Amino acid sequence: MPIILDHQLREQIPHDGTVFPISYFHDELATLPNWAGPLHWHHDFEIATAVSGVLDFQVGRQHIILEVGDSIFVNRNMLHGIKQLSGDVPDPMPNIVFSGAVIAPETSAIYKKYIHPIACCDTLPFIVFKHKNGWHNEVNCSVKNIYCQMYEQSQCYEMAVQRELSGIFEYIFSNFEDLPKFETTRIQINAQIRIQKMLSYIYEHYAEAVTLEDIADSANISRSEAGRCFNTYMGCSPIDALIQYRLQIAHSMLNDVTLTLREISYSCGFNSVNYFSRQFKQTYGYTPSQTRTLGK
């Protein structure tokens, strides 16, 4: 299913937190243009695995390359995105998004002792479990078992998933001192807050006439500082990021054949169908009309 974000870029996770606060996803990349997902964040932990292609998993400002068989643990509230770098078909990239409450209630001694310290560790934004590292085999096996249990949902699957997640957090806690840490400065924290605010503004106002000044004002910074933030996190300008998001929305709207190209372009903030079509082809390599006729 597609990534759904609210106006604060928090991914809307459809699990019922009062029942079993974990959700399983697969084949999300196939629904995304160029097999790339937008930067977003959520309050839950996430674990994802590369199955058939090489993936570029961005967490904060860092780009982590996942080879086939590698898994990544992303800590809570971290801005992250994904892009497939190789492969002839979209990687199924199975992943789970879950609350630590799957393992134990937040008021419990287990949560406070073993989960809370990991969730609140600013120097541990992510952990990579490499398929070539023998020490990581146990975790990668647990991750695969969780995917299987969440997909099949056979009898007592919840208990099996809880057991596997407990083992993963036990591994993280037991090896905490040896895990790679990434020191985060106050400047970096402020920069991430700013990019979150500006991206939130773009996601909420993309259909309107948005200027560079509007985007910068949403984070109370100058236009030049806004440009530096976007270049650092996304390798593009704020306006380029706005156009790319408009194109992503337009790409999904093309599935509705009752809408004309003019209606789609104007509803996504483009004031010219020709300009929309040129930008679309430049980004995706085919025109909006071809998207419909070829089922791209």
Q: What is the pLDDT along the chain (296 residues), one digit of tens a residue?
A: 334 444 344 444 555 545 899 999 999 998 888 898 888 888 899 999 999 999 999 998 899 999 999 999 999 988 999 999 998 899 999 999 999 999 999 999 999 999 999 999 989 999 999 999 988 999 999 999 999 999 999 999 999 999 999 999 999 999 999 999 988 777 788 888 899 899 989 999 999 999 999 999 999 999 999 999 999 888 899 999 999 999 999 998 998 989 999 999 999 999 999 999 999 999 988 899 888 776 55
| Length of the chain as a residue count | 296
Q: Are 103 and 110 in contact (CB under 8 A)?
A: yes
- pTM of model > 0.75: yes
The two beta strands, 80-84 and 55-59, are antiparallel
Tell me how far apart the alpha carbons of residues 126 and 63 are, in angstroms, rounded to a whole number: 11
Domains of the chain: 22-178 (2.60.120.280), 186-294 (1.10.10.60)
